[in-house]
């Protein structure tokens, strides 16, 4: 059996009881190590699980999946994923390869950023399409994600923006440089560059950092406010609000950075706010 096991968002104890039981009995346990990070390292996970973990980088998962699946038809193999296996990043390819090889699989779910963002008070069923914001370079400044944000806002929907996690490696050599993690203020600055002539600078947004950890941070304010904020270490997410219910507004006030952070909100009717 191939088990895909979600590890949740915070520390070693966020794995489910069911997931931990499976990890302890598997012949091999892989830790997917490129789509996200936990607030603890591989060694802390090994100590808590009582098992050695094999790091599975992007190259292994995408090009050497047969090694992960080796023997999974006669023994149990676990593939650990930060968050949920089918949350922000899916691993459908690995499942399809397993099925084509006649290997059974089972998914053990856990919390993901896709549902945990509800901690800021915005109602999950009011979210539209999720987007990714990547680091710009001197020669590459994609803006296509903004069109999706705009469509969501036209429908009154919130937009969850997943912020870039970039890994670099030396060409021809498997030596990885320290990754970069986009912060809320970096994402806000790039968005301000895009909207500077569109009068969207006062849109109410929410910045979130390290969701699920003890030092979780949430901040609500305009795009301009968030461009100046510092939420500390990774991982960060950004939400662009659409139409807001009064209850959502009351919740956002708990995280407002300044007295005028939500001043740009206006009412369209007795139960709807917008910015």
Q: Known binder of ligand: residue 84?
A: yes
Q: Known binder of ligand: residue 9?
A: yes
Q: Known binder of ligand: residue 236?
A: yes
Q: Known binder of ligand: residue 231?
A: no
Q: Known binder of ligand: residue 53?
A: no
Q: Quick count: other Cβ atoms within 10 Å of Cβ 228?
A: 11
Q: Known binder of ligand: residue 163?
A: yes
Secondary structure in 3-state letters for the chain: CEEEEECECCCHHHCCHHHHHHHHHCCEEEEECCCCCCCCCHHHHHHHHCCCCEEECHHHHHHCHHHHHCCCCCCCEEEEECECCCCCCCCHHHHHHHHHCCCCEEEECCCCHHHHHHHHCCCHHHECCCEEECCCCCCCCCCHHHHHHHHHHHCCCEEEEEECEEEEECCCCCCEEEEEECCHHHHHHHHHHHHCCCCCCCCEEEEEECCCCCCCEEEEEEHHHHCCCCCCCCCEEEEECCCECHHHHHHHHCCECCCCCCCCCEEEECCEEEC
- Binding site for S-adenosyl-L-methionine, residues? 9, 84, 87, 112-113, 163, 236
- Binding site, residues? 9, 84, 87, 112-113, 163, 236
């Amino acid at each position: 059996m191939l088990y895909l096991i979600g590890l949740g968002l915070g520390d070693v104890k966020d794995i489910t009881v069911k997931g931990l039981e499976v990890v302890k009995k598997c012949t091999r346990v892989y830790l997917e190590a490129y789509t996200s990070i936990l607030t603890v390292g591989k060694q802390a996970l090994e100590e808590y699980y009582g098992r050695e973990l094999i790091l599975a980088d992007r190259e292994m998962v995408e090009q050497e999946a047969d090694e992960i699946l080796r023997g999974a038809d006669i023994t149990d193999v676990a593939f650990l994923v930060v968050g949920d296996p089918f949350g922000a990043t899916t691993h459908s390819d690995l499942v399809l390869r397993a099925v084509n090889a006649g290997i059974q699989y089972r998914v053990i779910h856990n919390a993901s950023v896709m549902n945990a963002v509800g901690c800021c008070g915005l109602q999950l069923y009011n979210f539209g399409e999720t987007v990714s914001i990547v680091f710009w370079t001197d020669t590459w400044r994609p803006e296509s994600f903004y069109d999706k944000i705009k469509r969501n806002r036209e429908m009154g929907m919130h937009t969850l923006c997943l912020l870039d996690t970039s890994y670099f490696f030396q060409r021809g050599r498997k030596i990885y440089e320290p990754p970069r993690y986009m912060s809320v203020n970096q994402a806000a600055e790039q968005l301000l560059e895009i909207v500077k002539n569109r009068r969207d600078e006062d849109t109410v947004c929410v910045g979130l950092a390290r969701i699920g950890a003890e030092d979780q941070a949430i901040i609500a304010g305009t795009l301009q406010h968030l461009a100046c904020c510092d939420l500390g270490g990774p991982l960060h997410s950004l939400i662009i609000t659409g139409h807001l219910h009064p209850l959502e507004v009351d919740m956002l006030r708990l995280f407002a950075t300044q007295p005028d952070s939500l001043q740009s909100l206006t009412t369209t009717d007795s139960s709807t706010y917008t910015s």
